[in-house]
């Protein structure tokens, strides 16, 4: 059992084929407009405004609508209207599959019920912290910002799994990167990413397809991703009056195929599932 998107769930169960899923995703992508598209269509934002908002969004921890209000590009009423329009128009994958004639309404309803049951322990949008950690708030901030940065830098939509106590050491992966936070937040931040995720991160930095880049550059992209994420944690904590220091990111070594970073300490692991593969965030209490 793992976190899944509904389309993946249907595919794995053989309810739909891969071709049908891809076709439905295309319909979805065409139909589902972004916040900026709605604002542009209503003449409230120009292309330049939207580009500026996207650029600013990469540096901040704010939703695009909130940012537009902050920068006085839109007022709150306009943002609320645009968000409502976007939500009302949103085409979900199940509905896209039904509209394309790949599944019937009865099958859609039945499978949705089964999917919800299957995914009950994974709550998208909510970061939960298991009992036994002395600074649950910091853990939530670290996990939440990691997920947001995956979207903003690597353009990866993810689903976060429930945080679970982590025993042992992280498995070897394309890149396993660690940063030590101290001061207002006392945790070891460890991110494990497969190659495809590293490509997505590097692509976000170089502003183009990074799949042809050598492995050391891709791994460096993961390090820089961690650096920026922890930098955002510093900024968030500074707003709360807490000073945080971070070490430079480093790749965790696997000398004999194993690493020694958790060292039996209290740790929590969050899996983030994306189309590029699973990313694991492990936070180790120091």
Partner 1 sequence: MSKKKVLLVDDSAIIAKQLQEILDGSGDFEVVGQAKNGREGLELFSSLKPDIVCMDLVMPELDGLQTIRSIMSLDKSANIVVISAAGGVGDQVMEALNFGAKNVITKPFQPERVLEVLKGI
- Taking the complex as a whole, the smallest distance from the CB of residue 210 to partner 1 amounts, in Å, to 8
Q: For the stretch 237-254, what's the b/e string if a residue is b when 16 or more beta carbons lie within 10 angstroms of its beta carbon?
A: beeeeeebebeebeebee
212 belongs to the binding site for partner 1 (CB under 8 A):
no
**Identified binder of partner 1 from the candidate list 78, 178, 232, 274, rule CB under 8 A:** 232
Binding mask 240-259 for partner 1 (x = CB under 8 A): ---x--xxx-x---------
- Residues 14-19: contacts with CB under 8 Å, at least 24 apart: 15/103, 15/107, 15/111, 16/97, 16/102, 16/103
220 belongs to the binding site for partner 1 (CB under 8 A):
yes
Under 8 Å between Cβ of 245 and 185:
no
Say how many residues touch partner 1, by CB under 8 A.
31
- The number of residues making up the chain comes to 286
Q: Which stretch binds partner 1 (CB under 8 A): 7-15, 62-70, 185-193, 199-207?
A: 199-207
Whose Cβ is closer to partner 1: residue 65's or residue 249's? 249
- Classified as helix, coil or strand, 165 is strand
Beta bridge partners of 179: 189
Cα angle for residues 258, 259, 263 (degrees, 5° grid): 125
- Taking the complex as a whole, the smallest distance from the CB of residue 250 to partner 1 amounts, in Å, to 8
Q: Which stretch binds partner 1 (CB under 8 A): 33-41, 42-50, 94-102, 219-227?
A: 219-227
Cα angle for residues 273, 276, 279 (degrees, 5° grid): 45
Which residues of the shown chain bind partner 1 in the complex (CB under 8 A)?
Answer: 55, 58-60, 153, 202, 204-207, 216-217, 220-221, 223-224, 227-228, 230-232, 234-236, 238-239, 243, 246-248, 250
């Amino acid at each position: 059992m793992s976190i899944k998107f509904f389309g993946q769930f249907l595919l794995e169960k053989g309810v739909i084929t891969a071709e049908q899923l891809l076709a439905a995703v295309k319909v979805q992508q065409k139909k589902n407009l972004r916040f900026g598209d709605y604002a542009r269509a209503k003449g409230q934002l120009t292309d330049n405004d939207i580009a500026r908002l996207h650029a600013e969004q990469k540096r901040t921890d704010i939703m695009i609508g909130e940012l537009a209000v902050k920068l006085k590009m839109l007022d709150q009423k306009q943002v609320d209207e645009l968000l409502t329009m976007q939500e009302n128009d949103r085409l979900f994958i199940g509905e896209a599959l039904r509209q394309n004639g790949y599944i019937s309404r009865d099958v859609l309803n039945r499978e949705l019920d089964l999917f919800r049951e299957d995914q009950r322990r994974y709550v998208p949008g909510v970061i939960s912290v298991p009992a036994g950690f002395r600074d649950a708030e910091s853990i939530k901030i670290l996990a939440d910002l990691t997920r947001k940065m995956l979207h903003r830098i690597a353009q990866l939509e993810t689903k976060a799994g429930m945080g679970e106590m982590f025993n042992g050491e992280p498995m070897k992966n394309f890149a396993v990167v660690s940063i030590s936070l101290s001061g207002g937040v006392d945790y070891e931040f460890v991110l494990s990413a497969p190659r495809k995720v590293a490509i997505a991160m590097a692509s976000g930095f170089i502003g183009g397809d990074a799949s042809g880049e050598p492995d050391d550059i891709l791994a460096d992209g993961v390090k820089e991703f961690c650096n920026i994420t922890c930098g955002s944690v510093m900024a968030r904590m500074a707003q709360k009056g807490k000073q945080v220091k971070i070490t430079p990111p480093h790749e965790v070594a696997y000398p004999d195929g194993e690493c020694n970073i958790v060292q039996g300490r209290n740790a929590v692991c969050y899996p983030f599932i994306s189309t590029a593969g699973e990313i694991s965030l492990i936070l180790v209490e120091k």
